Amino acid sequence: MDAPEALQFNLTISASHKSNEELDYMTRQLLKELRDLEVESAKLVPGDTTPAGAKGMESVTVGAIAIAVLPTMLPKVLEFLQSWSLQGKGRTIRFKGKIASQQIEFEGSFDEMQKLVGLLEKKQKKQKK
Protein backbone atom coordinates (compact mmCIF):
# COMPACT_ATOMS: atom_id res chain seq x y z
CA MET A 1 0.00 0.00 0.00
CA ASP A 2 1.36 3.40 -0.95
CA ALA A 3 1.89 5.96 1.79
CA PRO A 4 -0.31 9.02 1.35
CA GLU A 5 1.42 11.98 -0.23
CA ALA A 6 1.69 15.10 1.92
CA LEU A 7 -0.40 18.07 0.86
CA GLN A 8 1.70 21.18 0.37
CA PHE A 9 0.31 24.66 0.65
CA ASN A 10 1.15 28.20 1.69
CA LEU A 11 -0.67 30.24 4.30
CA THR A 12 -0.51 33.99 4.32
CA ILE A 13 -1.77 35.70 7.44
CA SER A 14 -2.70 39.30 7.94
CA ALA A 15 -4.01 41.32 10.82
CA SER A 16 -5.50 44.75 10.57
CA HIS A 17 -3.73 47.50 12.48
CA LYS A 18 -0.50 45.50 12.96
CA SER A 19 3.00 46.63 11.99
CA ASN A 20 5.31 44.37 9.98
CA GLU A 21 7.22 43.60 13.18
CA GLU A 22 4.03 42.57 14.99
CA LEU A 23 2.90 40.50 11.99
CA ASP A 24 6.31 38.81 11.82
CA TYR A 25 6.07 37.94 15.52
CA MET A 26 2.53 36.54 15.03
CA THR A 27 3.73 34.50 12.05
CA ARG A 28 6.62 32.98 14.02
CA GLN A 29 4.30 32.13 16.93
CA LEU A 30 1.83 30.51 14.52
CA LEU A 31 4.70 28.57 12.92
CA LYS A 32 5.75 27.22 16.33
CA GLU A 33 2.18 26.15 17.10
CA LEU A 34 1.79 24.48 13.70
CA ARG A 35 4.97 22.49 14.27
CA ASP A 36 3.49 21.29 17.58
CA LEU A 37 0.58 19.80 15.58
CA GLU A 38 2.96 17.26 14.05
CA VAL A 39 2.67 18.49 10.47
CA GLU A 40 5.17 16.98 8.04
CA SER A 41 6.93 20.34 7.74
CA ALA A 42 6.28 24.01 8.41
CA LYS A 43 8.65 26.83 7.57
CA LEU A 44 8.73 30.52 6.81
CA VAL A 45 8.51 31.35 3.12
CA PRO A 46 11.76 32.86 1.80
CA GLY A 47 11.57 36.46 0.68
CA ASP A 48 12.50 37.84 -2.70
CA THR A 49 15.28 40.09 -1.47
CA THR A 50 17.52 40.41 1.55
CA PRO A 51 17.07 43.70 3.42
CA ALA A 52 19.82 46.26 2.85
CA GLY A 53 22.52 45.98 5.52
CA ALA A 54 21.38 42.55 6.72
CA LYS A 55 24.27 40.34 7.78
CA GLY A 56 23.73 36.62 7.66
CA MET A 57 19.98 36.97 7.99
CA GLU A 58 17.73 35.13 5.62
CA SER A 59 15.01 37.22 4.05
CA VAL A 60 11.48 35.93 4.65
CA THR A 61 8.06 36.95 3.39
CA VAL A 62 6.30 38.50 6.36
CA GLY A 63 3.14 36.60 7.20
CA ALA A 64 3.82 33.59 4.96
CA ILE A 65 4.26 29.96 6.03
CA ALA A 66 4.79 26.90 3.81
CA ILE A 67 3.22 23.73 5.20
CA ALA A 68 3.24 20.06 4.26
CA VAL A 69 0.64 17.90 5.98
CA LEU A 70 -0.68 14.39 5.52
CA PRO A 71 -4.29 14.32 4.28
CA THR A 72 -5.45 12.75 7.55
CA MET A 73 -4.07 15.73 9.50
CA LEU A 74 -5.64 18.41 7.27
CA PRO A 75 -8.94 18.64 9.22
CA LYS A 76 -7.01 19.11 12.48
CA VAL A 77 -4.83 21.83 10.90
CA LEU A 78 -7.88 23.62 9.47
CA GLU A 79 -9.63 23.46 12.84
CA PHE A 80 -6.54 24.89 14.52
CA LEU A 81 -6.29 27.71 11.95
CA GLN A 82 -9.94 28.57 12.43
CA SER A 83 -9.42 28.81 16.18
CA TRP A 84 -6.26 30.88 15.70
CA SER A 85 -7.98 33.34 13.37
CA LEU A 86 -10.76 33.92 15.92
CA GLN A 87 -8.30 34.73 18.74
CA GLY A 88 -7.54 38.22 17.50
CA LYS A 89 -9.55 40.97 15.89
CA GLY A 90 -8.96 41.44 12.18
CA ARG A 91 -6.99 38.20 11.62
CA THR A 92 -7.34 36.61 8.20
CA ILE A 93 -5.66 33.69 6.47
CA ARG A 94 -5.25 33.02 2.77
CA PHE A 95 -4.62 29.50 1.57
CA LYS A 96 -2.90 28.48 -1.66
CA GLY A 97 -1.97 24.93 -2.53
CA LYS A 98 -2.81 21.64 -4.12
CA ILE A 99 -5.50 19.37 -2.73
CA ALA A 100 -6.84 16.29 -4.49
CA SER A 101 -4.67 16.98 -7.54
CA GLN A 102 -6.18 20.43 -7.98
CA GLN A 103 -4.43 23.75 -7.49
CA ILE A 104 -6.61 26.01 -5.36
CA GLU A 105 -6.37 29.48 -3.95
CA PHE A 106 -8.82 30.47 -1.26
CA GLU A 107 -9.67 33.36 0.98
CA GLY A 108 -12.90 33.32 2.92
CA SER A 109 -14.54 31.84 5.98
CA PHE A 110 -13.24 28.59 7.38
CA ASP A 111 -16.66 27.00 6.96
CA GLU A 112 -16.39 27.71 3.23
CA MET A 113 -12.82 26.37 3.17
CA GLN A 114 -13.82 23.14 4.90
CA LYS A 115 -16.66 22.64 2.39
CA LEU A 116 -14.23 23.17 -0.48
CA VAL A 117 -11.68 20.73 0.96
CA GLY A 118 -14.44 18.14 1.50
CA LEU A 119 -15.60 18.46 -2.11
CA LEU A 120 -12.06 18.11 -3.44
CA GLU A 121 -11.39 15.05 -1.28
CA LYS A 122 -14.62 13.39 -2.51
CA LYS A 123 -13.60 14.14 -6.08
CA GLN A 124 -10.17 12.57 -5.50
CA LYS A 125 -11.73 9.40 -4.03
CA LYS A 126 -13.99 9.06 -7.10
CA GLN A 127 -10.99 9.46 -9.43
CA LYS A 128 -9.13 6.63 -7.66
CA LYS A 129 -12.00 4.16 -8.17
Report the number of distinct structural domains present in the chain: 1
pLDDT of residue 30: 94
**Is 40 a domain residue?**
yes
**Is 41 a domain residue?**
yes
**Is 1 a domain residue?**
no
**Is 28 a domain residue?**
yes
**Is 96 a domain residue?**
yes
- The DSSP element (H or E) to which 64 belongs, if any, is strand 60-69
pLDDT of residue 43: 96
Question: Tens digit of pLDDT for each residue in 44-99?
Answer: 998 876 555 555 556 788 899 999 998 888 888 888 888 888 888 788 888 888 76
Sheet containing strand 7-15, edge to edge, reads 41-46, 60-69, 7-15, 91-99, 102-107
Q: Is 80 helix (H, G, I), strand (E, B) or coil?
A: helix
Length of the chain: 129
**Is 59 a domain residue?**
yes
CATH code (residue 35): 3.30.70
**Is 111 a domain residue?**
yes
Average pLDDT of the residues of the chain: 80
* Residue of 119, 116, 95 whose CA lies nearest to 107: 95
**Residue 111 is part of which domain span?**
7-128
**Is 2 a domain residue?**
no
Question: Tens digit of pLDDT for each residue in 3-47?
Answer: 678 888 899 988 888 898 999 999 999 999 999 998 999 999 988
